[in-house]
């Protein structure tokens, strides 16, 4: 940890991070922590056991979502905001461009990934993996009861659709379409030959990384392989120690 951060951390005291494995938003924050050398006490919330809906976690994050960072009792329950907070706290090795215009472009990319990339990859994950895994572990009535504990109506509906009503071909086609649009956007950004989305490595690359990695986890890597700039970027991302540590740390035990 660098000196400025250590000074600030000493004042703040406890740093608790609630996260899950197989969670794009948790992985996005872990990668930022490992880039920055940010120290934290990790608390695993198992989404496959619906631990995000337990009363003790809902006191920490009333929306029942991961990740949440808690600094000395103050909760930050948004991955994008956690990453900016950590970058503010530890100004050395900055992960945001200094130039205000480039910084605005970085935020634009991060927001777009959050609004379009993550929901698409999340839906494809439900379809290709999560729904089957949940059905393997729980009976229909157990699932019905646990899903209803979610505080957000749209999350209940989303999971009911994936598990009970079934996702339609149009749902899958829309998610694939949006995910491909995100990959095309990344490919265009990288077409000037730069290593990273905005020239220097930034929070935009970190926000993209777990979404692009998810194609590989789901066996859909052909979509990435077709875009040579994104594929070369992905190879570079995978070499970063922060990426390697993230996927070691956020490992999910499916046995």
Ligand X SMILES: N[C@@H](CCC(=O)N[C@@H](CS)C(=O)NCC(=O)O)C(=O)O
Minimum Å gap between C-beta 199 and ligand X is 25
Phi first, then psi, for residue 204 (nearest 5°) are -65, -40
In the complex, minimum distance from the CB of residue 6 to ligand X, in angstroms, rounded to a whole number: 26
Asked if residue 242 binds ligand X (CB under 6 A), the reply is: no
Please report whether residue 25 would count as binding ligand X according to CB under 6 A: yes
Between 36 and 150, whose beta carbon lies closer to ligand X?
150
CB of 107 to ligand X, least distance (A): 14
Query: How many chain residues are in contact with ligand X, going by CB under 6 A?
Result: 15
* Residue 47 sits in the site that holds ligand X (CB under 6 A): yes
Nearer to ligand X, 194 or 252 (CB): 252
Please select the residue that binds ligand X; options are 35, 78, 87, 205, rule is CB under 6 A: 78
**Nearest alpha carbon to residue 110 among 24, 224, 193, 43:** 24
172-191: contacts with ligand X (CB under 6 A): none
| Out of 18, 23, 198, 242, the residue judged to bind ligand X by CB under 6 A | 23
Q: Which is nearer to ligand X, 105 or 149 (CB)?
A: 149
Q: Which of 155, 161, 240, 245 binds ligand X (CB under 6 A)?
A: 155
Query: Contact between 79 and ligand X (CB under 6 A)?
Result: yes
Give the burial string for 109-145 (b: 16+ CB within 10 Å, else e).
bbebbbebbbbbbbbbbbbebbbeebeeebeeeebee
Q: How far is CA 125 from CA 67, 192, 225, in A?
A: 18, 31, 19
Closest distance to ligand X from the beta carbon of 117 (Å): 11
Q: Count of alpha carbons within 13 Å of 60, Cβ hemisphere only?
A: 24
The correct pick among 9, 34, 52, 97 for binding ligand X (CB under 6 A) is 52
Q: With CA atoms as reference, report the closest residue to 79 among 68, 95, 88.
A: 68
In this structure, the number of other CB atoms found within 10 A of the CB of residue 168 comes to: 10
**30 lines the binding site for ligand X (CB under 6 A):** no
Task: Please identify, using beta-carbon distances, which residue of 22 and 190 lies nearer to ligand X.
Answer: 22
Residue 49 interacting with ligand X (CB under 6 A): no
Place of tokens 């998610």: 175
Q: Is 55 exposed, middle or buried (0-12, 13-18, 19+ CB in 10 A)?
A: exposed
Complete DSSP assignment for 63-122: T--S-EEEETTEEE--HHHHHHHHHHH--SS-SS-SSHHHHHHHHHHHHHIIIIIHHHHH
**Of 60 and 190, which CB lies nearer to ligand X in the complex structure?**
60
Where on the chain is the footprint of ligand X (CB under 6 A)? 23-25, 47, 52, 64-67, 78-80, 114, 150, 155
């Amino acid at each position: 940890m660098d000196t400025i951060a250590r000074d600030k951390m000493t004042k703040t005291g406890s740093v608790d991070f609630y996260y899950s494995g197989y969670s794009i938003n948790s992985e996005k924050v872990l990668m930022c922590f490992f880039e920055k050398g940010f120290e934290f006490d990790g608390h695993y919330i198992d989404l496959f056991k619906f631990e995000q809906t337990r009363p003790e976690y809902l006191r920490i994050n009333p929306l029942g979502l991961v990740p949440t960072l808690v600094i000395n009792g103050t909760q930050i329950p948004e991955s994008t905001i956690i990453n900016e907070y950590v970058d503010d706290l530890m100004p050395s090795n900055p992960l945001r461009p200094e130039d205000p215009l480039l910084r605005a472009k970085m935020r634009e990319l991060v927001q777009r990934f959050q609004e379009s990339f993550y929901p698409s990859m999340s839906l494809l994950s439900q379809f290709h993996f999560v729904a089957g895994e949940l059905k393997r572990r729980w009976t229909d009535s157990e699932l019905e009861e646990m899903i209803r504990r979610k505080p957000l109506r749209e999350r209940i509906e989303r999971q009911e659709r994936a598990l009970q009503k079934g996702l339609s071909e149009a749902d899958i086609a829309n998610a694939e379409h949006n995910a491909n649009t995100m990959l095309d956007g990344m490919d265009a950004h990288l077409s000037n030959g730069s290593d990273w989305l905005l020239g220097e490595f930034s929070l935009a690359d970190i926000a993209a990384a777990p979404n692009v990695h998810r194609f590989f986890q789901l066996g859909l890597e052909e979509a990435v392989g077709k875009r040579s700039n994104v594929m070369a970027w992905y190879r570079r991302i995978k070499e970063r120690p922060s990426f390697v540590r993230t996927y070691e740390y956020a490992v999910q035990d499916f046995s």
